[in-house]
Amino acid sequence: MSALTLTPGMVTLDTLECIYRKEPAVHIDRSAREAIDLAAEQVAQAAKGQDAVYGVNTGFGKLASVKIAADDTATLQRNLILSHCCGVGAPLDRATTRLMMVLKLLSLGRGASGVRFEVLKLIEDCLAKGVTPVVPEKGSVGASGDLAPLAHMTAVLIGEGEAELNGERLPGGEALARAGLAPVVLGPKEGLGLINGTQFSTACALAGLFQAWRLAEATLVTASLSTDAIMGSTAPLLPEIHELRGHRGQIEVARAMRTIMDGSEIRESHREGDTRVQDPYCIRCQPQVAGACVDLLRMAARTLEIEANAATDNPLVLVDADRIVSGGNFHAEPVAFAADQIALAIAELGAIAQRRIALMVDPALSFDLPPFLAQDPGLNSGMMIAEVTTAALMSENKHLANPCSTDSTPTSANQEDHVSMAAHGARRLIRMTENLSHILGVELLCACEGVEHRAPLKTSPALQKVLDRLRETVPPLAQDRYMAPDLETAAELVRDRAIVSVLSENHMIKLGAVHAAG
């Protein structure tokens, strides 16, 4: 696809998701250059002056009182980057690393960092030519910026560190040379401007949000299938119920499920004469639970959209006021809270889905479905252990959903004495969405087995399309077989939006894009 032009301060989550999933080249709108150049010139003048300006002609953190000679400012910035390359663990995935680089471009592009335009241009060129820094995923506490991860990113820009190019892991300088690029020599404050900021935490949180939103869509499809499979009542989906409460997510989830299930013969077959007064909560309260999760994701989405467009380094160059001022925009508390919100939503979507699975495999509760959805039960175990796997995944997500934002530990000789732990909160989200996709994949398998057991009655036309899509790759469970590939295939159908894309917009949920949540 062609390169995207980004206007700092005005980039939407739709655009950021496109960058995350499709990895296009990007350019900062050149109208931003004037502000970038003015801030860089102000920093250059401060570096020549006698007044101490943090990070320009002083040391860093607890060493801020140490004055640095003008001749040593380039060495100061280079040393800063090399000394802060202390990340450990597996490398961050390519897509999230590129998103982090774009977020850094957007932050620098606000014209408040004092970083020269040529540095931004090198980041653009790295993105265009596929030079992706190798960034270890562990080492940030989410305050004073994501120092270690961003230092590994910046190291490649000065010809150090490591980068991936065309699938090969190379020394940073060699990767640049092969791509026809030259490293930069950092000027005053530029190293600090590049490693101060929340871009690692925000990129990881956005990646988690994008995946969580897809799964929130998918769970409404699997939930509708499960409701038909157990011949559940759709009376709890009546619009009057949800309008009386008033929560947007709840109203929209109920509307979506009504639309998806419209025309189901299974539902019509027991609308009259059903002796059950109430279904279990996992059926009856689906709009209340999933709707609350949708609302929570929207709140987090708004926070992350603001953060993605923010200037978050320190000090900031206030060009109009002719001041360079130390502040705390690098503190990632908003991102930490957003990540915790996303984690809660992921955990709860999985918790209620797991109970629907348990309902379908339990012959005491599943309204005439065979035990564990097995043909010839006893000889066959059916979905017995698939349900156990979902219980394990649900439990793991519950543990992972414990808040990270309430944790803190002093660092840097107590100079940085309260930190957000946003990086921890954000990094866990992809692991949690992987777990949720497998839970929903098993629900898809179970619900389709249950719906097929109701033949000759048919499910709704919309849900029949979903069932047909599954049966393209996973046959019915006529007898026990090696199950792991089926579980993985179903999870992929959920993750890749395959079971959502077969539905028309008229059938699909009316939740809107995440960026429209505000």
pLDDT in tens, 226-236: 999 999 999 99
On the CB side of 423, CA atoms within 13 Å amount to 26
pLDDT at 272: 64
pLDDT at 383: 97
* Two structure tokens written together for 159: 């010809």
Assign 316 to helix, strand or coil: strand
pLDDT at 379: 96
Query: Where exactly are the structural domains of the chain?
Result: 4-197, 205-517
d(CA 343, CA 430): 10
Apex 500 CA angle, 495 and 506, nearest 5:
160
pLDDT at 67: 77
- The least confident of 104-113, 341-350, 505-514 is 505-514
pLDDT at 514: 44
Q: Is 416 left (phi over 0), alpha (psi -120 to 50) or beta?
A: beta
d(CA 52, CA 64): 9
Which residues make Cβ contacts (< 8 Å) with residue 454, sequence separation at least 6? 228, 229, 231, 266
Residues 123-175: tens digit of each pLDDT = 999 999 999 999 999 999 998 889 999 999 999 999 999 999 999 999 999 99
C-beta of residue 351 within 8 angstroms of C-beta of residue 220: no
Higher pLDDT, 504 or 458: 458
Residues 78-125: tens digit of each pLDDT = 999 999 999 999 999 999 999 999 999 999 999 999 999 999 999 999
Catalytic residues: 54
Q: Is 381 exposed, middle or buried (0-12, 13-18, 19+ CB in 10 A)?
A: middle
Of the chain, the percentage scoring pLDDT greater than 70 comes to 95
At 230, phi and psi to the nearest 5? -95, 10
Assign 268 to helix, strand or coil: helix
Q: Is a pLDDT exceeding 80 seen at residue 63?
A: no
At 317, phi and psi to the nearest 5? -95, 110
Higher pLDDT, 149 or 511: 149
| CA dihedral sign of residues 22, 309, 428, 436 | negative
Fold observed for domain 4-197: Fumarase C; Chain B, domain 1 (1.10.275)
Assign 67 to helix, strand or coil: strand
pLDDT at 365: 85
At 375, phi and psi to the nearest 5? -80, 130
Residues 369-417: tens digit of each pLDDT = 999 999 999 999 999 999 999 999 999 999 999 999 999 888 887 788 8
Helix count and strand count (H, E) for the chain: 20, 9
Assign 46 to helix, strand or coil: helix
d(CA 250, CA 244): 11
50 pLDDT band (50/70/90 cuts)? confident
| Superfamily of the domain at 205-517 | Fumarase/aspartase (Central domain) (1.20.200.10)
- Report the largest interatomic distance among the alpha carbons of the chain, rounded to a whole angstrom: 88
d(CA 254, CA 257): 5
> Would you state the torsion angle of the CA atoms of residues 483, 487, 490, 491, taken in this order, to the nearest 10 degrees?
-170
Mean pLDDT of the chain: 93
d(CA 494, CA 437): 6
- Average pLDDT, integer, range 274-294: 89
Residues 306-344: tens digit of each pLDDT = 999 999 999 999 999 999 999 999 999 999 999 999 999
pLDDT at 510: 46
Q: Is a pLDDT exceeding 60 seen at residue 356?
A: yes
d(CA 6, CA 140): 27
pLDDT at 508: 58
Quote the pTM value.
Answer: 0.95
- The least confident of 172-181, 182-191, 238-247, 267-276 is 267-276
- Average pLDDT, integer, range 456-479: 97
pLDDT at 269: 79
Q: Is a pLDDT exceeding 50 seen at residue 471?
A: yes
What is the number of residues in the chain? 518
At 318, phi and psi to the nearest 5? -95, 90
The DSSP annotation for 386-417 comes to HHHHHHHHHHHHHHHTS-STT----BTTTTB-
